[in-house]
Amino acid sequence: MKRIVLFLATNLAVILVLSIVLNLVYTMFGINRSSMGGLLVLAAVFGFGGSLISLFMSKWMALRSTGAQVIEQPRNATEKWLLDTVARQAQSAGIGMPQVAIYNAPDMNAFATGANRNNALVAVSTGLLNNMNADEAEAVLGHEISHVANGDMITLTLIQGVVNTFVIFLARLIAGAIDNVMRNNNEEGQGLGGFAYMGIVMVLEMVFGVLASVIVMWFSRQREYRADAGGANLAGRQKMIAALQRLQNNMEPQLEGSLMAFGISGKHGVAE
């Protein structure tokens, strides 16, 4: 979850910046705002561009936002176990060795990110290391390694690119319609000024961006189920069940769907 939230937040910020750039492109090159074809092409270029920028910034943003420290050389038995476990799972999954990091947080959490499945980052919280046993932590690492092996960040980037395209396109389409209505109703034929038009566009992009994030989160949840299955293959089914139960019992009631996928009763907490 932390991975997708960081990605969505970065993507929204990038889209707002690119929105200003796109408006400058319109002004500099005198592009007709009413040209649907030209608008759609530019929306796609900037929409996918924003998504790709978010993807390539993902590792840097994740490390900066969480304060995670990459393990260069293990300083204790826990760090050595982390490196060895990730290395073994990465080899089994057929991917390159990811960077491994630890960040200070009381919640039991972990995430994987990166633009390349052979140059990814896997980070775990101190809360996870302190509150899970080795088998449970191994299952969580398997889940994150599966995200990398499945190319989930690339998949979500493409989905986000499509969503961004429609966010940019619809925002400008509606702002253009408002501008036309004002021109038709104004005796002097004046429409929205440049700043007013841009302000409306940015507000619409923020609103549509938040609504569109629901779509991206739904796709992300489907990938979470697949990563659960991949983690079970890498670490073992019983270890994954134990990890999901521990998360559910402590802080993650939204994992009910994952638990049911493994035949675990949310009511009784046992395998059926």
Active site residues: 144
Structure tokens at 83: 């490196």
CB 96 within 8 A of CB 90: yes
- CA–CA dist 234, 97 (Å, integer): 15
CB 143 within 8 A of CB 228: yes
- CA–CA dist 137, 156 (Å, integer): 25
End-to-end CA distance of the chain: 27
Structure tokens at 152: 């989930």
How many other CB atoms sit within 10 Å of the CB of residue 58? 24
Q: What are residue 109's phi and psi, to 5 degrees?
A: -150, 160
- CA–CA dist 260, 164 (Å, integer): 33
- CA–CA dist 205, 119 (Å, integer): 32
